Amino acid sequence: MPFSRDRMVKLRIICNDAALNPCNSSTLFHIMNFSGNFSHIGNVDLAELRKLVLNLTEIQWDSFSTRQNVYEVHQHTKTIGLVYDLDFRHSHPTRLPTLQIFEAALRPTLWMIADHFEKTETGQQLVKENNLGYFIRASLVRLAAGCSIAEHRDMNFSLTHSHRIHLPIITNEDVWFTVGGESINLKEGQLYEINNRRLHSVHNKGGEDRVHLILDYVLPGEQCCCAAKQHPDTRCSPQACFDTVLLKIPCTCHPET
């Protein structure tokens, strides 16, 4: 019996071992990285999500402080984890209690992202050979008015082997997101993938806090852009990609200009 759409959404968040299990695939090297800075996925109706975000209390915003305390670039942010693990695992993500508040409102966004990646010719092949994609992380991140997230690259295995998706829920005309030297003002409801292998930063020059939903989506079987050169006979793994993830070997597949 086929799964219902609701159960499929839950399955995508819970996940199993499929992402890390080898398979007898004849098509190992589907490259996940894209050559631009921003990739527009679609537009989302924010009515319900925005209402839920506006109802969050300061106690809720202050209850999950590890991210901003550990990473200096995020010191001016507050985070509410929905699906999140401090060890940045690449499978078996933890569903945090706050997810229950947002899960129903998130479904259209989750399906839009899954369809965007899985309904391409490459996506269909990967799903057939490996399994459905899944969301390894989901968080709400609030950047204080007048503050910035300093320029940085994402540098761990899971972050460099998942698609980093941003959905602005509350923003203003004076918030500028810069990736690879290109700056744009993301509008509320615009769903974008960003190239997190490039240097990126955010500047909120406006008078109100900015709130984004940030999602990391994994399509099992996708290889990073350096895989064919650095480990052509094996799948991506924390061991195989150690040097490229930490940029001990420069990633020149999509150089910044």
Q: Kindly list the domain boundaries of the chain, sorted by start residue.
A: 32-223
pLDDT score at 253: 64
Distances (CA, A) of 257 to 36, 243, 247, 249, 254: 10, 23, 18, 19, 9
Q: Amino acid identity of 193?
A: E
Q: Are 148 and 36 in contact (CB under 8 A)?
A: no
What pLDDT sits at residue 45? Answer: 97
pLDDT of residue 1: 26
Q: CA–CA separation, 134 vs 25, rounded Å?
A: 19
Check residues 18 and 99 and name the one with the higher pLDDT.
Answer: 99
Please say if the pLDDT value at position 211 is more than 90: yes
pLDDT at 22: 33
Q: What is the pLDDT of residue 23?
A: 34
Distances (CA, A) of 112 to 32, 72, 78, 98, 226: 18, 32, 26, 22, 28
Map residue 90 onto helix, strand or coil: coil
The pLDDT, as a whole number, for residue 189 is: 98
Q: Residue 200's CB: how many other CB atoms inside 10 A?
A: 24
Distance CA 31, CA 192 (A): 19
Mean pLDDT value across the chain: 85
Task: Provide the 10 A C-beta neighbour count for residue 140.
Answer: 25
180: which 2 tokens? Answer: 């690879």
Considering the segment(s) 32-223 as one domain, its CATH architecture is Sandwich (2.60)
For 218-249, what is each residue's pLDDT tens digit?
998 888 888 878 888 888 988 888 888 887 77
